[in-house]
Amino acid sequence: MTTEKDVLTALSHVKDPELGRDLVSLNMVKNVRISEGLATFTLELTTPACPLKAQIEREAVAAVRSLPGIDRVEVDLTSNVVARRRPGKIAVDKVRNVLCVASGKGGVGKSTVTVNFSVALGAPIVWRGPMVGKLISDFLRQVDWGDLDYLVVDLPPGTGDASLTLIQQVPLSGVVIVTTPQEAAVTTAGKALHMFKGMDVPILGIVENMSGFACPHCGVAVDIFAKGGGKEAARELKVPFLGEIPLDPDIRASGDHGLPFVLADPESQGARAFHSVAEQVAARISIENARDLQGFVILGDRRITPA
C-alpha cells in the first residue's frame, strides 16, 4: 500500500530546474493525501510567474503516478514568493521584492517595460520621476502598497541620486537593465550595471527592447536598430540575457492610451514576449532569494543554522 511518505519520497527525486534542488527539500510539497487510488498534493512554487511550472508539474505527476496503487494524481499549484532581506536596510512594509528597471541612457523604453512587467507579474504599481532623499523614503514608507509579491520601480536613466538613494535604503531583490539592439548597448548598459553590481545589488539580466520590426503588410522582419546588441552586452558583461521585446507600433499606441500592452492585446507576439521576459525575471529573483537560504537547513517552516 502506497503511503503519503512514499509520495514524498517520489517527489524528492523531482528537482526545481532553476534552483537545482528537489521539491521536498525546498519545502514546496504540502498537504499530501491518498484516497482510493487518488493522490493529491499542493505544489507551492517560488513565484506565480514561474516559467517552468508546467514542466515541474508534469514531472511531479509522473513521479507520483509511478507508485503502485496510484491511478490518478491531482496537483494544486500555488506560490509563496520569498521576501528579500538585507542587514542594515529597512524593508518596505508588506512588499516582498523590490525590482528596479534601469538603463544607461534615456529613450530605450524603460517605462514601457516596467508597466508591462508589472501587469505580467501582478497588479501594476509604477513609480516614475527623480524622487530623491527624504521624498523617496517617505514614498516607500508612508504609502500603503498593499500585500505585494513584487514592487516594480521605474528609475530615471543613468546613475543619479534616485538610484543611489534607493540602493542605500531598500533591500533590492535585483535590477533589470533595458537596452536597445545597437552595438553601443554594451557601453550604455555597462554604466548602470557596474553601479548596481558595485553596490551588491543582484543583476537579474538584460532585456533588449525595440528589437526586430515585423512589417504588418509582408511579415518580413526588419532590424531597424541593428540586431543583437542586448545579447552581446549580456555576453560581454557576463549576466543573463532575459529576452527581446519587438518594435511594435501597437505597443507605443497602447502606452499612449494608458493601457499596458499585455492587457490591450494579450495574444500578440509582443505581449507574449513581455510575459516570457517577466517569467525569466521572476525565476531569477527566486534563484537570488534562494541563495539567501544557503547555510540553513529547512525544517517545516523554520530555518535552522547547522552546527
Q: What ranges in 75-130 are assigned the alpha helix state H? A: 110-121
Q: pLDDT tens digits, residue range 32-62? A: 999 989 999 999 988 877 888 889 999 999 9
Which residues make up the CATH 3.30.300.130 domain(s) of the chain? Answer: 4-80
- Please name the residue that has the C-alpha cell 547547522: 306
For the cut 70, the answer to whether the pLDDT of residue 306 exceeds it is no
Residue 81 pLDDT: 81
Cα separation, 219 vs 198, in Å, equals 43
Amino acid identity at 168: Q
Summarised one tens digit per residue, pLDDT across range 254-293 is 888 888 888 889 998 889 999 999 999 988 988 888 876 5
Which CATH number is 4-80's, of 3.50.50.60, 3.40.50.300, 3.40.50.800, 3.30.300.130? 3.30.300.130
What is the model's pLDDT at position 300? Answer: 39
Q: To the nearest 5 percent, what fractions of the chain are helix, strand and coil? A: 35, 20, 40
Higher pLDDT among residues 163 and 66, named by residue: 66
pLDDT given for residue 302 in this prediction = 43
205-264 pLDDT tens trace: 999 988 877 777 776 777 777 778 888 888 988 999 999 998 888 888 888 888 888 888
**Band of the pLDDT at 299, cuts 50, 70, 90?**
very low
Q: What is the pLDDT of residue 125?
A: 43
For the stretch 75-115, pLDDT in tens is 988 888 877 777 777 677 777 888 788 877 777 778 888 87
What's the confidence (pLDDT) of residue 212? 78
The confidence score (pLDDT) of residue 88 equals: 72
User: Are the CB atoms for 185 and 230 separated by under 8 Å?
Assistant: yes
Single-letter code of the amino acid located at 164? L
CATH 3.90.1150.10 for domain 98-291, yes or no, is no
136-158: average pLDDT: 77
**What is d(CA 139, CA 49) in angstroms, rounded to the nearest whole number?**
27
What are the tens digits of pLDDT across the range 165-204? 778 878 888 999 988 888 776 677 787 888 888 888 899 9
Provide CATH 3.40.50.300 ranges for the chain: 98-291
In this predicted structure, the answer to whether residue 16 has a pLDDT above a threshold of 60 is yes
For position 219, what pLDDT does the model report?
Answer: 65
The grid cell for 240 is 543573463
Mean pLDDT of the chain, nearest integer: 80
Beta strands 297-299 and 302-304 are antiparallel
pLDDT at 97: 80
Please name the helix (run of DSSP H) or strand (run of DSSP E) that holds residue 204, with its range, or none: strand 203-211
Report how far residue 136's alpha carbon sits from residue 128's, in angstroms, rounded to the nearest whole number: 11
Instruction: Indicate the pairing of strand 221-222 with strand 241-246.
Output: unpaired
Q: What is the pTM of this model?
A: 0.61
